[in-house]
Structure 1
Amino acid sequence: MSHLPAVPSSPTSLVPAHLVESTGRYVESGLRGAANTIRAYAGDWQRFTAWCQQHQLESLPAPVEALAGFLTELADAGKKVATIQRHVAAIVKAHELAGLDSPSANQKIKVLLKGIAREKKTRIKQAAAFTLANFKHTIRSMDVTTPTGLRNRALLLLGFAGAFRRSELEALNIEDLAFDEEGLVVSLDKSKTNQLGQAEEKAIFYSPDPQLCPIRALQAWLRVLNRTEGCVFVSLRKNQRLTMRRMTSKYINLIAQQYLGRGYTAHSLRASFVTVSKLNGADDSKVMNQTKHKTSAMIRRYTRLDNVRQHNSAKELGL
């Protein structure tokens, strides 16, 4: 099975007949979640169902023994804790969609997961943050004499200045951009933490250095794009010809790695925004206004201060 299970019909005896179809649609939307999440879970669910078929075990509903065996095999194969946890989440979602209890709630599974994490002693790998000096050097050294260079410069500068997720950059449309003399306001219909599509905005400001200005870089790319609507970041053919194809999150990640280095990802743009902002003295509320995080705890999680000399009160002792 390459897809998550279909949502079963729920009792509708108390729902007026003319609302039954809409009710079912809303329930399915609420259960399934974001499109990117569905795609990620579908692959994990397919691996689990294939494993169960191989061992002649039911996958839906899955017995505790089946889930325990599958997770043990993943751990023995050297899979990271984060990967194992993602598979569990996919299995939980499949059971939820089918209206069934997940075996992950069993105490044995909880103990097993705790043991796997303890034995591996691994932390969830986080995207590295770059220094502002290195980022500036990278941007200044880019070849912007071609459409590809103009697009990639705009992508990196906007991604950093707006603390964008790569899925948000992928979904960005020209209609979402509002320029004025103060800068740029970007409207987001949906994001990872805004599944209901409530209005969210990000403010982008002019930089005194034209080479490092995210707004001027984006405007230069839009002049090449020469459109008034549709996706902002599109794929290009080898001869630098524009296409109508929206750039995928995967390709956005490859571009970030190409310019920033193999140790970084597109998510480093967002992590670096938080880290640089905190190093420059910004309080959590200002950072959260751009990142759209809901709690200060998430800001602390995103802040990359691995250098012991950074953000250290020992420099403020007055000795």
Structure 2
Amino acid sequence: MSKQYKEQKGEKGLTVVGADRPALALAADLASRVAPNVERYLLRGLEGSDNTRLAYSADLRSYEAYCKKNELAPWPAALETLAGYVAHLADVGRKLATITRHLSAIEKNHQLLGLPSAVNDPALDVLRKGVAREIGKKQKQAPAFSVPHLKRTIDRLDLSRPDGLRARALLLLGFTGAFRRSELVGLNIEHIEMVHDAADEVLVVTLPKSKANQAGNIEQKVIFYADNPAYCPIEAYKAWVALLAGRTQGPLFVSLKRGRPSEPGKPTDKRLADRRVNLLVKEHLGAKYSAHSLRVAFITTAKLAGQSNDFIKNQTKQKTDAMISRYTRLDDIIKYNAGRALGL
């Protein structure tokens, strides 16, 4: 794995990390010089780091394009470079949350390159506070939909076609399981099984990994039958899986191969893309919603039904009550107000 990495001089004489240097060079070099069992664990760590960098890739491309345009060295980033980039993002109308995410991506890439980072410099923190005061802190959040709205959406689907059956399964499983978009995309058929006991028959979904569970500890969600089969997530799941040609493993939600315009698409074995899941939610629930609305709507609906935070966290796998409060959408101060129930 070991190789020599070149350094080149930028047009302003600053050191630039060569483009041929892998982001995980230091750990990769170490892996080539240790015992096989140590190398195995290092490689597992590298896989996780690659996934993190992939999630930030668009932000890093934006940052590197800014540096190239302004003849600046991106790695390691000078404090002045980072300050200019933050001001640039604010000037072009990026939200505070977006700017923070870009800085997180830059910080992570410095770690992966084994380079010192100025992202947490106190001067940059002062700049970020100034940007926050200038553009405001309110982050755009995915709205929650109501159960009646979801039912109306399901009623409009053409269940004689594969795309209708897929949409019904995705919406109902996503909502009742409080799934993150990445979890829906990553679901495999072998992760899901019907479980019977003396009281219930339920669908148990095992998540090998999730956003909050990078170590691979076993996490499970339970999907229950609904009283009305038309809106039952388990029935929707069964109807969709029946179209997958008897598969017992592989991705649950797959793309459809289109034929002629009048013909329904046929399921492929290609996993549905992350972006496509978001577009499907918008297409069916409405443009203001996103895939994250499935999770938000579960939490909001459960809170309105009087469910405890502990019960909610059993499904969402969130760690704190503060996260439950953050995800609960009760913004309508007329509809959701304790002043209605004072008994006067």
TM-score of the two chains, using structure 2 as the length reference: 0.86
Q: 2:46 aligns with which of 28, 34, 39?
A: 28
Consecutive unaligned residues in structure 2, runs of 5 or more:
1-18, 260-264
Following TM superposition, by how much is the alpha carbon of 1:11 offset from its aligned partner in structure 2, in angstroms?
Answer: 9.3
2:319 corresponds in structure 1 to 294
Q: Which amino acid aligns with 1:112?
A: L
Which ranges of structure 1 fall in alignment gaps of 5 or more residues? none
| Aligned positions of 1:152-167 closer than 5 A | 152-167=167-182
Moved more, 20-29 or 230-239: 20-29
Q: 1:125-161 deviations in whole A, cap 9, x for unaligned? A: 1101011111111112211111110111011000000
Show the counterpart of 1:105.
Answer: 120
Distance 1:16 1:2 in 2: 24
- Cross-structure match for 2:99: 84
Q: Give the Cα–Cα distance (whole angstroms) in 2 for the partners of residues 175 and 220 of structure 1.
A: 16
* In structure 1, distance between residues paired with 2:57 and 2:243: 38
Q: 1:172 aligns with which of 187, 201, 215?
A: 187
CA deviation map 1:85-143 (0-9, x unaligned): 11101110111112222111111110111111110114111101011111111112211
1:51-130 map, 5 Å? 51-130=66-145
Say yes or no: does 1:271 pair with 2:280: no
Greater alpha carbon shift after TM alignment, 193-202 vs 46-55: 46-55
Q: What is the CA–CA distance in structure 2 between the aligned matches of 1:2 and 1:312, rounded to whole Å? A: 58
- Aligned positions, number: 315
Instruction: Give the 3 Å change call, closer, same or farther, for CA 289–3 of structure 1 in structure 2.
Output: farther
* Residue from 149, 172, 185 that aligns with 2:164: 149
Matched residue, 2:26: 8
* 2:134 counterpart letter in structure 1: E
Output the amino acid matched with 2:315: Q
1:51 Cα deviation (Å)?
2.1
- The aligned residue for residue 223 of structure 1 is 242
Cross-structure match for 2:9:
none
- What corresponds to 2:252 in structure 1? 232
Change (3 A) 1:202 1:20: closer
Greater helix fraction, Structure 1 or Structure 2: 1
TM-score by length of 1: 0.92
Q: Distance in 2 between matches of 1:2 and 1:279?
A: 54
Counterpart Cα distance in 2 of 1:139 and 1:5:
45
